[in-house]
């Protein structure tokens, strides 16, 4: 059974200065090599991924068995609806494996993702996250595994949801090889749609950014050789 560990070569006080100045941190490597490799292998091996698609305020969830039974016509119609929604509104499509927020449920779970989320929300990792964000009131990190396949994306939004207590968002990248032209970039919208900063998916790289902050994930292209794997969530009061 894996014992997760941070890579301790980073200076948290220097990182805190950068986060205070820019509202964004990109830290690599964040975990020790064994932890990152095991998480990546786990995500690649899982078969309980659920595709999530929004239709306005409504959430549509499709497991792999359901999607395999869709006809070609149904797939085409679904694609049309997703891309139509992305033209003018908030729209997303990707796969997820969710982790419970409740610590007792995490403790009882045999899922390694729940074990990771529990470790990430306590002790040394939590103190590190509190320090680099200068948010001492962070109590836990919620978490989900995500996988973006060709055609998947997440349009612009700012994560600001009343009552959720979100101090910062994080993306732990678990994709060993990625090219810029494959898309899947974490893009920050700097005041308008014409100015942005984008981060390329990486392996064992932690991106943290202040909430609220408008951002998106650009569409993964058909040339991508791999799925874009990560563990994502928010650091919450």
Q: How far apart are CA 82 and CA 165, in angstroms?
A: 30
pLDDT of residue 1: 47
| pLDDT(200) > 60 | yes
Cα separation, 220 vs 148, whole angstroms: 7
Q: Which residues of 44-191 form beta strands (DSSP E)?
A: 50-55, 58-63, 92-98, 140-141, 144-148, 153-157, 166-174, 186-189
> Distance (Å, rounded) from C-alpha 147 to C-alpha 94?
6
* Of the options 2.115.10.20, 2.40.110.10, 2.60.120.620, 3.90.1720.10, the CATH number for the domain spanning 12-48+94-236: 2.60.120.620
Query: How far is CA 67 from each of CA 75, 131, 229, rounded to the nearest angstrom?
Result: 8, 43, 20
Return the domain boundaries, the chain.
Answer: 12-48+94-236
Q: Is 81 or 2 the better-scoring residue by pLDDT?
A: 81
Q: What is the pLDDT of residues 126-173, one digit of tens each?
A: 999 999 999 999 999 999 999 999 999 999 999 999 999 999 999 999
Q: Supply the pTM of this predicted model.
A: 0.96
Whole-number mean pLDDT of the chain? Answer: 96
pLDDT at residue 192, rounded to an integer: 65
Q: What is the structure's pLDDT at 63?
A: 97
3-state class (DSSP) for residue 184? coil
How many Cα atoms within 13 Å fall on the side-chain side of residue 180?
2
Taking only the tens place, the pLDDT of each residue in 185-198 is 999 998 766 668 99
């Amino acid at each position: 059974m894996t014992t997760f560990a941070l890579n301790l070569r980073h200076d948290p006080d220097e990182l805190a200065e950068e986060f205070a100045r820019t509202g964004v941190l990109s830290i690599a490597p964040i975990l020790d090599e064994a932890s990152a490799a095991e998480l990546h292998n786990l995500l690649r091996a899982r078969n309980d991924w659920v595709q999530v698609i929004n239709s306005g305020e409504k959430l549509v969830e499709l497991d792999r068995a359901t999607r395999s039974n869709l006809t070609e016509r149904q797939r085409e119609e679904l694609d049309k609806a997703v891309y139509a929604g992305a033209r003018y509104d908030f729209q997303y499509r990707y796969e997820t494996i969710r982790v419970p927020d409740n610590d007792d449920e995490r403790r009882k779970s045999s899922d390694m993702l729940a074990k990771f989320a529990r470790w990430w929300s306590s002790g040394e990792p939590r103190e590190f996250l509190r320090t680099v964000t200068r948010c001492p009131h962070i109590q836990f990190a919620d978490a989900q595994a995500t996988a973006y396949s060709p055609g998947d994306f997440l349009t612009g939004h700012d994560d600001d949801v009343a009552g959720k207590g979100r101090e910062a968002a994080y993306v732990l990248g678990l994709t060993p090889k990625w090219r810029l032209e494959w898309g899947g970039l974490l893009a920050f919208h700097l005041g308008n749609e014409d100015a942005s900063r984008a981060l390329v998916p990486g392996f064992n790289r932690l991106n943290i950014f202040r909430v609220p902050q408008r951002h998106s994930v650009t569409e993964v292209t058909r040339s991508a050789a791999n799925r874009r794997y990560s563990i994502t969530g928010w650091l919450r009061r």
